[in-house]
Structure 1
Amino acid sequence: MTLQLLLAQAGDGLPVIEAPLPTESLLGAPLPAPLPKPTHLYNMSAEPDSLREQRWALVVPDTERGRRLESILSPLCERRTEEQGRKVDVYRARPEMDAVAAREFVDEVMYPTSQSSREHARYVLLAGTPEDLSMELQEELTGDGSCFVGRLPFEREEDYAAYVAKVMDRERDAARPRKARALFLTAQDMSTQVRSGHEFVTGPAALRCSEARGRGHFPASRVLTEELPPGAKGRLLELAGAPEPGLLFTLSHGVGGPLSGWASKEEQQREQGNMWLGDRTELTAEDVRQGAFLPGGMWFYFACFGAGTPARSVYQPWMEQLVQSGMMHRRQLESLERSRPLGERPFIAALPQAALANPEGPLAVIGHLDLAWLCAFHDPRTGQTHANRLEDVLTSLVEGYRAGLALQSLSRFAAKADRELRKQYQADAVPGASGRPQTPNVAERAYLWMERHDVMNYTLLGDPAVRLVDRPSR
């Protein structure tokens, strides 16, 4: 088993880690912090896709900007009020909450035990950048997997208005579409990582969905699979520009720091996480800000930093251990560190922001908030694909389920991996029949460790209550 990373160096596009890391590199990986246990009350027995039973809430920063955002988003709040039959709750959160403050806010303000589960919203929209509403607050809400969370992360206030108008137009259209096409695209750049990604992830996921469609279980109007040749930006924009609503799955390298480092914070936030297309070509925010790009659709963007960049990667302590042990060259770690945010503050990638703000763009983007690896969807120990995990998410979307509910299906795999991983770490301390600690299964532990971290970092940008296609009310 080897570990392959989907991160390309800005400028020349060279993979940041060219040779895949070996399984043994994860043997000494630190035990992750426990996933949050569900402590909030929800109406768990009710239909999860129904806002009448599950509720929708808005969180804005408790600032002057937050009050402006609340006003801009009021038409969307009114729309959700109509759907759920009662006024939505709007919460005002202090910026820069740490983990402790975020837990207190969620427990005491949003979900107090003095309220019935019927009063608690499972669908939550965060409005603001990471500077407006901290990533710790988002992690607290998403951690146990029972809350359906999305974020609108725009810097510009006019982008919030554009997004709201797009959602309102789509949802109030009497001729809302009932079927969408499904596009599976791999941006080939001649690297081993992307070739493996198409063979083990994109291809199997597309095949499963296509076969399910033939049996009547994947109700897309059509399924298209294509490997884009290096530099084929025009073809990508052509496919994404069709007027029919589309579900777009792309796999590529994400753009990371250049060899010389980012010249400024502004340059990094403009380019990091862009879709690398090979041949010194990338899909940028300017490419998707105007004109038809997946109008009314949804985009699953599989690449490093596709959704954004954390202040510190969850993989950093492990990689520092690898350098100390000699299993990883320091220059590789330095290449990764060139992608750390200047100023040590997390940020949301410009590419999905621009797509969401485009009036002719998608309603939601699913992407990664850290380094993205292949092994969460492919088990190299057995050669078995885990494309079923993607199939679950994508099928829910083409069936018209709400975006937040569709993404939530991934969280159960992270929880399962976390439980199994903890059992293995606990077994290390238990003597076997010989009286010595049991020898760990290196490959299994490596896979579980990577799976747990990788799956946990997928996030939804956009309103978690939006739908790709119309679905009868329940």
Structure 2
Amino acid sequence: MTLHLLLARADEREPILEEPLPLESVLLAPPPAYLPIPTHLHDIAGDPDSLGAQRWALIVPEGEQGRRIEAILKPLCELRAREQGAPVEICRVPAGMDRAQAIEFRDRVLHSPARSRREHARYVLLAGGLEALSLELQEVLVGDGACFVGRLAFEQEADYEAYVSKVLAREQSLPKPRKARALYLSSGDGTAAVRNGQRNIVTPAAQQCRSEHQQGYLRAKDILEEELAEGSVERLLELAAQDEPTLLFTLSHGVGAPTGGWRSVDMQRQRQGNLCLGHGGELEPSVVRRHPFIPGGVWFYFACFGAGTPTCSVYEKWMERLVRFREMPSRYLKSVHDSRPKDGRPFVAALPQAALANADGPLAVIAHLDLAWSYAYRDVLTERYHAHRLEAVLSSLMNGHRVGPAVHVLIQFAGRADARLRWQYQEQAVKDSETGKPLPEELVKQAYLWMERHDIASYVLLGDPAVRLVVPD
């Protein structure tokens, strides 16, 4: 097995990694910064879909911008207050929180011991960009395991209003759908990364959903699978235009920096993370904004930088080691460096922003806020493909669970990998003290678990975590 990176150059639309990395290269991965990710809700007895039991809160930045966003989101807050039978908690926080500040906010404000745990909000909507509401804040709330976290981050304030109007229309005015269709699409760009993904993750996940449907465990109107022809933006738009609840899963390269880097900040922010369809083109935000695209649905977008771009990728230290030990050409690392934010500011990708702001667009987008690797296809240690992880999330959505708990199913796998990784490091520390030298197979397990843990942890939810694809019976 080899490692492919799902990132393509913006000019040539060719993969940045011309040759895949050997799987053994993960052995040079540095120790991770652990996050406490429990594999269960704190309130195990509570219905995870009940806002009355779990509560919903809004977090906005301090200052004038936060006050404007809060005013725009007032109708959404009123809707959630009616659903939970209690006022919505609104928290105003300073910009750029570091991890320690985020933990203090969570423990002293959001989940203060001075209040009953019944009043602690587990559905949390962050409304603001990655600079105003830091990624560290989001990671702490997700990592605590008690919160279902979603984020709205638009460049234009009018887009917040458009999103709120869409959610209210879907939840209050339109007929309540009981079944949705599942649409599995992959880019037919001919690259090994996407071909392997089609064979090992997309098709098995679709087949598993069909099996669950036939056995009566999954409610679905249709389950469709298609490999898009190279450059077939029109076919993608055609499939995504139907005005019925749709769960869309796409697998493709994400657009990264062109050769020589981005010429401007605006160009990077408009194109980085766009869905690449090979030499024939890419799915652009302007197209998604003006065409029906998964109306009222949920989009699971698998590609590099699909949700956005952090200041620095968690994988860069590992790649720097690969270059230092001559396990990887330096030009690969340069290509990743060229995709860093040109102005040093992390950002949410323009493509999901456009989709969420579209009145005929999805209610939520699930995607990577970092690089996406083909390691996500298969567990090397157990020889098992990861289609079951994808199916678990998608089935949860198809059966009417809110999107926050559905994504939490995915986060549980990160918690398991994190726990196994901790155990491996502890075991190594004991054996090092006894023999002075770790066993090779233990180092291999640590490296693979490191990759697995970071891949899953980089998924984020864009949109209100309380929305549903369909309403359960």
TM-score range, shorter chain: over 0.9
Amino acid at match of 2:268: Q
Shift of 1:443: 4.4
Alignment check: 8 A CA contact 2:59 2:126 kept: yes
User: In 1, Cα distance between the equivalents of 2:382 and 2:99?
Assistant: 38
Aligned amino acid, residue 145 of structure 1? G
SS in 1 for 2:197: helix
1:281 corresponds to: 281
Instruction: Please state how far the C-alpha of 1:425 moved relative to its aligned partner.
Output: 2.4
1:110/1:204 CA distance change after superposition, 3 Å: same
What do residues 275-315 of structure 1 show as CA deviations (whole Å, max 9, x unaligned)? Answer: 00112400010111022110000000000000000111101
What CA deviation, in whole Å up to 9, does each residue of 1:122-141 have, x standing for no partner?
Answer: 00000011122111111111
**What letter matches 2:243 in structure 1?**
P
Q: Distance in 2 between matches of 1:320 and 1:234?
A: 39
Rate the CA distance shift 1:432–1:266 in 2: closer, same or farther, 3 A: closer
The match for 1:439 is: 439
Matched with 1:371 is 371
Note the C-alpha offset of 1:208. Answer: 0.6
- Taking the TM superposition and a 5 Å limit, the aligned residue runs for 1:115-126 are 115-126=115-126
**Per-residue deviation, 1:447:** 2.3
Q: How far did 1:416 drift?
A: 1.0
Structure 2 partner of 1:448: 449
Which stretches in structure 1 are left out of the alignment for 5+ residues?
none
Q: Which amino acid aligns with 2:45?
A: S
Q: Determine the C-alpha separation between the residues in 2 that align with 1:158 and 1:412.
A: 35
Matched residues in 2 for 1:433 and 1:405: separation?
Answer: 42
- Which amino acid letter does the alignment assign opposite residue 462 of structure 1? G
- Deviation (angstroms), 1:422: 2.2
Letter in 2 for 1:309: T
CA distance in 1, matches of 2:87, 2:171: 18
- Aligned-partner SS, 1:201: helix
What are the ranges of 5 or more consecutive residues in structure 2 without an aligned counterpart? none
Using the alignment, how far apart are the partners of 2:220 and 2:331 within structure 1? Answer: 46
**Worse-superposed segment, 260-269 or 233-242:** 260-269
Match of 1:163 in 2: 163
SS of the residue aligned with 1:225? strand
Structure 1 residues 84-107: Cα deviation after superposition (integer angstroms, max 9, x where no partner) = 001110110111112222222221
State the distance in 1 between where 2:333 and 2:232 align. Answer: 31
The amino acid across from 1:460 in the alignment is L
For 1:359, the equivalent position in structure 2 comes to 359
TM-score (norm 1): 0.96
1:67-466 counterparts in 2 under 5 A? 67-173=67-173, 175-380=175-380, 383-431=383-431, 435-441=435-441, 443-466=444-467
CA distance in 1, matches of 2:116, 2:296: 35
Bigger Cα displacement from structure 2, 144-153 vs 356-365: 144-153
1:19 aligned residue: 19
1:470 aligns with 2:471: yes
- CA shift, 1:384, in A, is 2.4
Kept after mapping to 1: 8 A contact 2:36/2:415: no
Deviation at 1:146, TM superposition (A): 2.7
- Which AA in structure 2 matches 1:379? D
Residue 432 of structure 1: CA displacement?
A: 8.2
Q: Is this contact kept in 1: 2:197–2:377, CA < 8 A?
A: no
Matched, 1:52 2:22: no
Measure how far apart 1:420 and its partner are. Answer: 1.4
C-alpha contact (below 8 Å) 1:53/1:84 kept by paired residues: yes
Alignment check: 8 A CA contact 1:240 1:292 kept: yes
What amino acid sits opposite 2:126 in the alignment?
A: L
Preserved CA contact (<8 Å) 1:154 1:160: yes
- Rounded to whole Å, the distance in 1 between the matches of 2:112 and 2:255 is 42
What fraction of aligned residue pairs are identical, expressed as a percent? 55
Alpha-carbon separation, structure 2, partners of 1:235 and 1:50: 38
- After superposition, the C-alpha distances for 1:420-470 in whole angstroms (9 at most, x for unaligned) are 122222333333899453413254333211110000010100000000011
Secondary structure class of the residue paired with 1:250: strand
When the two structures are superposed, what TM-score results if normalisation uses the length of structure 2?
0.96
Q: Distance in 2 between matches of 1:41 and 1:356?
A: 28
Aligned mates of 1:68, 1:153 — CA distance in 2: 13
Rounded Cα–Cα distance in structure 2 between residues aligned with 1:54 and 1:328: 47
Higher deviation after alignment, 101-110 or 60-69: 101-110
Q: Which moved more, 1:374-383 or 1:310-319?
A: 374-383
Q: Write the distance in 1 (CA, Å) between the matches of 2:293 and 2:305.
A: 20
Distance 1:157 1:433 in 2: 57
Question: Structure 1 or 2: larger helix share?
Answer: 2
CA distance in 1, matches of 2:439, 2:194: 34
Shift of 1:337: 0.7
C-alpha distance after superposition, 1:44-83 (max 9, x if no partner): 3211110000000001111101111111101000100110
| Residues 105, 326 of structure 1: alpha-carbon distance in 2 compared, 3 angstrom cutoff | same
Instruction: Return the alpha-carbon distance in structure 1 between the equivalents of residues 306 and 41 of structure 2.
Output: 32
Tell me which amino acid in the other structure corresponds to 1:395: S
Total equivalences in the alignment: 471
Q: Which moved more, 1:379-388 or 1:97-106?
A: 379-388
Q: Which amino acid aligns with 2:467?
A: V
SS at match of 1:314: coil
CA distance in 2 between partners of 1:279 and 1:232 (Å): 10
Aligned to 2:470, what secondary structure does the other structure show? coil
State the AA in 2 paired with 1:11.
Answer: D
Q: Residue deviations 1:323-378, cap 9 Å, x none?
A: 11111111111011111111221100000000000000000000000001122231
- Between the aligned partners of 2:41 and 2:401, the Cα distance in structure 1 is 22
The 1:391–1:37 alpha-carbon spacing in structure 2 relative to 1, beyond 3 Å, is closer
* Structure 1 residue 18: Cα displacement: 2.1
